[in-house]
Amino acid sequence: MATRLATIFSPARRSPASAPAHLLHRALPRFRHRRACPSPSRMSSSSAASPAPPATAAAGGDKPAAAPYGSWRSPITADVVSGAERRLGGIALAGDGRLLWIEGRPEEKGRMVIVKEEDRPVDVIPQEFAARTLAQEYGGGAFAVDKSVVVFSNYKDQRLYKQTIGIAGPPVPLTPDYGAPDVSYADGVFDPHFGRYVTVVEDRRKSSLNPTTTIAVINLSGDDVCEPKELIGGNDFYAFPRIDQNKRRMAWIEWSHPNMPWDKSELWVGHFSESGDLAKRVCVAGGNPLVVESPSEPKWSPKGELFFVTDRGSGFWNIYKWVEETNEIVPMYALDAEFTRPLWVFGISSYDFLGNSNHIIFSYRQQGRSYLGVLDCDSGSVSLLDIPFPDLSNVVAGDDYFYIEGASASIPMSIAKVTLNESKTKVINFSIVWSSSPDVVQYKPFFSTPEIVEFPTSKPGQKAYAYLYPPSNPNFQGLPDEKPPLLVKTHGGPTAETRAVLDLSVQYWTSRGWAYVDVNYGGSTGYGREYRERLLEKWGIVDVDDCCSCARFLVESGKVDGQRLCITGRSAGGYTTLAALAFRDTFKAGASLYGIGDLTLMRAETHKFESHYIDNLVGNEKAYYERSPINFVDQFTCPVILFQGLEDKVVPPDQAQKIYKALKEKGLPVALVEYEGEQHGFRKAENIKFTLEQQMVFFARLVGKFEVADEITPIKIENFD
């Protein structure tokens, strides 16, 4: 393991103080940054007041108190943020029509648990197991269910196991133990024709940087553990093996380097022979070199017709049907909207068939909002449905009902059961069966409501989009001569989309008096292929320009303080953050969470899935050098704090270490926090809390001009403390 350059945070090694980290560098006393201090280095060690209960001044008939932005006391503490939200890792229907889902529990160090809907939800897998796959590093599609039998990928050893719901006893292993978690399985389905399990397999035994990916079959009969049998191989990537219940056919998606699945992919259909091998194969979509498209999400209808989503022609992902007899692709519902999202994780389910009918329940994204509807495939008619979720993702359907993942600006990520009328055109019942944060309703008076911002980019006549969250706290208002500090969030991906959903980590800032803006810079999804491809060969330029343009737009609009602009981002968003700090002078401080500092090193060390992704986004060797912040440390002019998981294989830890060391040698205020046991993204509650608090305190100390109400022990900042 590399020499430690900075703060190591390991839950196994706690300091005697209340800060949950073992600090190799000393921690400063608990403090509140005094506005009256002539220098940011003069800190008060007086004890901070505890967060107030979620009561409001308005409730007591008092006016909100005038106080400096950033200093407001809020009940939405870092403890609340880190402990409140459970992650959602996929949904499916059991044979009795009840829902199964995977939830990630911060209080169990991020363990992913399969849960079944009952009068009181029950865990399906024992405590020593976790349903999570490492296929393509981002995982997804970690389980499937047939009647009462669940097959899942176990996180620790990455083997597949079989668990029968309601039957006591440990899960039964289905795949061999290779001595290390070097073979992962994802996106599996049960094969009704041959009594087996069909799944995507990623084998890293020979090479972790260039593993072999196949679609293989796993024997479900008998007690012997057998080697998976390859069904399809030879291409770089596979996803969505989906089997026709009526005939012996299977559809799947495949793609090859240098493409990502949203750049160009192919949809194939194969016919099973009597022995279960794939005989006749036909490329349904994506094989024509004159048609640029990225088909996704194939599904067989109850009638045995193949539906899928693709972006041919319009550049928007719409629903199509394959007519096998004539080999035609027929559009089912044409709209300048996105009916799916990029295949970052396995197991996406943006639409589904309602029971044995020919009705499709679907959602789509248009201009920053989700819409829900039912498509009658026979008549072509569409009925839009009204539910209180303006943001939707995965859906699974029964006969006259469906379960859907959704959220809003005041409702956290949830799963709702929606029942339809007999004609399947209207909602007659809506109920939330699971919530990622069931207790957050008590904080609703403190929530900031996002505003959609459309702002001009650096290219004349061009627009980009963001969500602005103004400061909001019923107990406080800003001083009359002051504007709030702004934190600009740059989302990851970069081929991703930020959404206006309730996120307590956002409300943590806004309820303390910060303005917070989440930018969908050029290259983001949700706005069609043309918008998405703005970033091709322009990563580090378009995204950076858009984030800077958004911040300047808000300053010129009089909404924020131009002298207190900060920026933060995770992963690819961390790269945009570092690039903005190196190549622009818009921001006064920044925080990078497992961000990329060296594009060349990233390309050399990253995993197979993204190994050519950066080439498409950056271009030639000259651009690799010129857009790597690590090569231009002399151009950094403001403080930076970095956070990094030491088991991260997407962005290896040496990226953050190199940036930290270089900035330290340059003499800029800089801090680095490294987490043992964390990969790409932080899952442990104590680490989520520590990251949030240290960002807040870092910005307060170095950009500041306000007193932090929370009691926080800051870590040492090099070239400052």
Given a contact cutoff of 8 angstroms between Cβ atoms, the answer to whether 105 and 155 are in contact is no
pLDDT at position 53 over 80: no
Domain that holds residue 528: 448-703
pLDDT tens sequence across 452-506: 999 999 999 999 999 999 999 999 999 999 999 999 999 998 999 999 999 999 9
How is residue 535 annotated by DSSP?
Answer: G
Percent of the chain with pLDDT over 70: 91
Q: Which of 283, 282, 239, 233 is nearest to 261 (CA)?
A: 239
Integer Cα distance of 131 and 513 in angstroms: 39
pLDDT at position 263 over 60: yes
pLDDT the model gives residue 438: 84
**Range ranked top by mean pLDDT from 24-28, 540-544, 649-653:** 540-544
pLDDT tens sequence across 378-430: 999 999 999 999 999 999 999 999 999 999 999 999 999 999 999 999 999 99
pLDDT the model gives residue 426: 96
pLDDT tens sequence across 441-452: 899 999 999 999
443 located within any domain: no
Average pLDDT of the residues in 56-62: 61
Question: What is the tally of structural domains in the chain?
Answer: 1
Going across the sheet that includes 143-146, the strands are 143-146, 149-153, 160-164, 172-173
Q: What is the largest CA-CA distance in the chain?
A: 82
Average pLDDT of the residues in 303-329: 96
635 located within any domain: yes
pLDDT the model gives residue 681: 85
What is the secondary structure of 257-310 as a DSSP string?
TT--TTTS-EEEEEEE-TTS-EEEEEEEES--TTS----EEEEE-TTS-EEEEE
Integer Cα distance of 620 and 630 in angstroms: 17
584 located within any domain: yes
215 located within any domain: no
For the ranges 3-17, 309-323, 361-375, which has the lowest average pLDDT? 3-17
491 located within any domain: yes
pLDDT the model gives residue 1: 34
pLDDT the model gives residue 9: 53
Return all residues near 395 (Cβ < 8 A) that are at least 6 apart: 349, 350, 351, 352, 361, 362, 363, 402, 403, 404, 405
pLDDT the model gives residue 84: 64
pLDDT the model gives residue 12: 38
Integer Cα distance of 516 and 514 in angstroms: 6
Please tell me the pTM assigned to this model. Answer: 0.87
The enclosing domain of 511 has a CATH number of 3.40.50.1820
Question: Over the chain, what is the mean pLDDT?
Answer: 90
pLDDT at position 703 over 80: yes
pLDDT at position 71 over 90: yes
Band (pLDDT 50/70/90 cuts) for residue 6 is low
Q: Which of 717, 700, 695, 683 is nearest to 643 (CA)?
A: 695
Return all residues near 504 (Cβ < 8 A) that are at least 6 apart: 76, 80, 81, 84, 85, 412, 437, 440, 443
Average pLDDT of the residues in 639-653: 91
pLDDT the model gives residue 45: 29
Integer Cα distance of 1 and 654 in angstroms: 11
Burial category of 107 from C-beta neighbours within 10 Å (exposed 0-12, middle 13-18, buried 19 and up): exposed
Q: Which of 535, 520, 362, 476 is nearest to 72 (CA)?
A: 476
Question: Rounded to whole angstroms, what are the CA distances from 320 to 267, 334, 482, 488?
Answer: 12, 9, 54, 38
634 located within any domain: yes
pLDDT tens sequence across 167-191: 888 999 999 999 999 999 999 999 9
Question: Three-class SS of residue 568?
Answer: strand
Band (pLDDT 50/70/90 cuts) for residue 47 is very low
Q: Which of 569, 496, 501, 493 is nearest to 526 (CA)?
A: 496
pLDDT at position 252 over 90: yes
Integer Cα distance of 556 and 561 in angstroms: 10
pLDDT the model gives residue 58: 55
pLDDT the model gives residue 41: 31
- The helix (H) or strand (E) run that includes residue 366 is strand 359-366
Band (pLDDT 50/70/90 cuts) for residue 55 is low
pLDDT tens sequence across 101-156: 999 988 888 899 999 999 899 999 999 999 999 999 999 999 999 999 999 999 99
Rounded to 5 degrees, φ, ψ at 695 are -65, -50
pLDDT at position 296 over 80: yes
509 located within any domain: yes
pLDDT tens sequence across 423-444: 999 999 999 999 998 888 899 9
pLDDT the model gives residue 413: 93
Structure tokens at 251: 């559809």
553 located within any domain: yes
